[in-house]
């Protein structure tokens, strides 16, 4: 019998009725002749509430204890789901990350899964039980409990699907699937029946909030069929994530907006070899995600270097950049928080200059200045002012909708 892994997000298991709804869905899948392994998130916004509680007790909670605390969220939902399934007359067993054999490295709150020993899951399946595994958590060599970073249950689900050689991994969520833009921000966003691994990975990284990027990377690497679909509307097939070899024609598939970024500029950096190296190597140990980097030739012998970082990292990296400024004699840094990154995503779009010029033309028409641009094979991103970002998102989406989104 083949195995289907289903992951249910926090909203999907957010109440008693919703847990019962999930139980029925799981049972239906079982009845249609599959083994089912379910991965659950914590109910509703439990994880946020647990973090808030911790911060009321301690201004900077010890990471080990915070993971211990956060891991309880998923244990609540897995046990309740097992009970709901049992109440409907089916056999179910819930397993923690440890019991499910999910082994991770030791980085609390951002642990990575390094191996899975699925024997306990397999034994339960052989007994014809429905297996429910806590998402988002694992254990280390030292038998510590770790968590995988916010949204990490997606990654738990894909990793288990790969370890069990499942037929597919279904991600159940509160929207119908993957859209051409965030439907909460763009009312005309359309559901995509299919999207490529690369495109969804890019969209996830660009802040589309659809899936944990690591889960997509893992699925792509292992060719695990992935489906994103709704917990509340079983009639809709959702979005299938597929491998796309060649596109007939480059096409914009999605438009994203990330408002949680900051632009940092270091003006008047001496123009000599090794300077960029000095600046960015000083940031290595801070483990910060540097995104766009721009160096412009300024005036005799000096450059400006600008780059973007996630909003949450800004405070902890400023001292290091200021130390760099002092050392090389640059001007004081400029930090601009009211910026946003607007991106278009689609396989091969940078090879068609009509697409880039269409994007820039639309932004120009809106009277918005583009502060930085970066591209990859499948995306074009622009840094713009945050107060016009929402309008730009809608207008750019509309433009590409008319022009073949
Ligand atoms: N409960 C965790 C979170 O809220 C993990 C997840 O939902 O994927 O981030
Ligand atoms: Mg989530």
Question: pLDDT tens, 296-312?
Answer: 887 788 999 999 999 98
Burial class (CB in 10 A: 0-12, 13-18, 19+), 321: buried
pLDDT above 90: residue 155: yes
Q: Quick one: average pLDDT of 96-117?
A: 96
What was the pLDDT predicted at 246?
66
| Domain 3-242 -> CATH class | alpha beta
CB 44 within 8 A of CB 10: yes
pLDDT of residue 405 exceeding 70: no
Residue nearest to ligand 1 atom 9, measured at CA: 150
Sign, Cα dihedral of 46, 52, 56, 57: positive
CA distances from 214 to 38, 61, 211, 239 (A): 19, 26, 8, 18
- pLDDT at residue 51 tops 70: yes
Domain locations in the chain as residue ranges:
3-242, 247-405
Q: Which of 157-161, 245-249, 369-373 has the lowest mean pLDDT?
A: 245-249
Q: Which of left, alpha, beta for 51 (phi over 0: left; psi -120 to 50: alpha)?
A: alpha
**Which parts of 220-329 are beta strand (E)?**
226-230, 239-242, 254-270, 293-299, 302-310
Q: Ligand 1: which atom is nearest the Cα of residue 136?
A: 5
What is the CA(222)–ligand 2 centre distance, in A?
Answer: 22
Cα 51 to ligand 1 centroid, rounded to whole Å? 12
Residue pair 225/305 in contact by the 8 Å Cβ criterion: no
| pLDDT at residue 402, as a whole number | 77
Q: Which atom of ligand 1 is nearest to the CA of 149?
A: 9
Block residue for tokens 């909670």: 61
Assessment of whether the complete model's pTM goes beyond 0.75: yes
Q: Assess contact for 25 and 172: CB atoms under 8 A.
A: yes
pLDDT given for residue 248 in this prediction: 66
Q: What is the dihedral of CA 290, 295, 301, 302, to 10 degrees?
A: -60
Homologous superfamily (CATH) of 247-405 is VC0802-like (3.30.2130.10)
* Per-chain mean pLDDT for the chain: 94
**Residues contacting residue 162 through CB under 8 Å, at least 6 positions apart:** 116, 218, 219, 222, 224
Q: pLDDT, tens digit, for every residue of 197-215?
A: 999 999 988 877 778 889 9
Q: Which residue in this structure is represented by tokens 């979005």?
A: 239
pLDDT of residue 403: 73
């Amino acid at each position: 019998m083949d195995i289907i892994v289903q992951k249910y997000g926090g909203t999907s298991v957010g109440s008693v009725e919703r847990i019962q709804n999930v139980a029925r869905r799981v049972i239906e899948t079982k009845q249609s002749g599959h083994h089912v392994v379910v991965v659950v998130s914590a109910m509703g916004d439990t994880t946020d509430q647990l973090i808030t509680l911790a911060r009321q007790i301690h201004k900077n909670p010890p990471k080990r204890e915070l993971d211990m605390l956060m891991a309880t969220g998923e244990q609540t939902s897995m046990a309740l789901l097992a009970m709901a399934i049992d109440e409907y007359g089916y056999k179910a067993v819930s397993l923690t990350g440890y019991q499910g054999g999910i082994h991770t490295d030791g980085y609390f709150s951002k642990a990575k899964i390094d191996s899975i020993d699925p024997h306990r899951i397999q034994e339960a399946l052989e007994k014809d039980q429905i297996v429910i595994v806590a998402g988002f958590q694992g254990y280390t060599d030292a038998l510590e409990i770790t968590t995988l970073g916010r949204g990490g249950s997606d990654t738990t689900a894909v990793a288990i699907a790969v370890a069990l050689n499942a037929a597919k991994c279904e991600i159940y969520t509160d929207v119908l699937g993957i859209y051409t833009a965030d439907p909460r921000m763009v009312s005309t966003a359309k559901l995509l029946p299919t999207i490529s691994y690369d495109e969804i990975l890019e969209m996830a990284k660009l802040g589309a909030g659809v899936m944990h990027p690591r889960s997509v990377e893992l699925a792509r690497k292992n060719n695990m069929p992935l489906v994103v679909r709704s917990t509340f509307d079983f009639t809709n097939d959702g979005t299938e994530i597929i491998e796309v070899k060649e596109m007939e024609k480059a096409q914009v598939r999605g438009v994203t907006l990330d408002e949680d970024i900051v632009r940092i500029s270091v003006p008047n950096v001496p123009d000599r070899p090794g300077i960029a190296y000095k600046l960015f190597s000083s940031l290595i140990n801070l483990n910060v995600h540097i995104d766009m980097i721009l160096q412009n030739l300024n005036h005799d012998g000096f450059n400006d270097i600008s780059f973007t970082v996630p909003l949450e990292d800004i405070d902890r990296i400023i001292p290091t950049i200021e130390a760099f400024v002092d050392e090389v004699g640059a001007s004081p840094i400029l930090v601009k928080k009211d910026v946003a990154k607007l991106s278009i995503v689609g396989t091969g779009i940078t090879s068609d200059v009509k697409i880039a010029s269409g994007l820039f033309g639309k932004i120009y028409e809106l009277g918005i200045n583009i502060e930085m641009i970066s591209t990859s094979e499948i995306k074009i991103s622009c840094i713009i002012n945050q107060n016009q970002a929402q309008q730009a998102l809608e207008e750019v989406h509309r433009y590409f909708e008319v022009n073949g989104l």
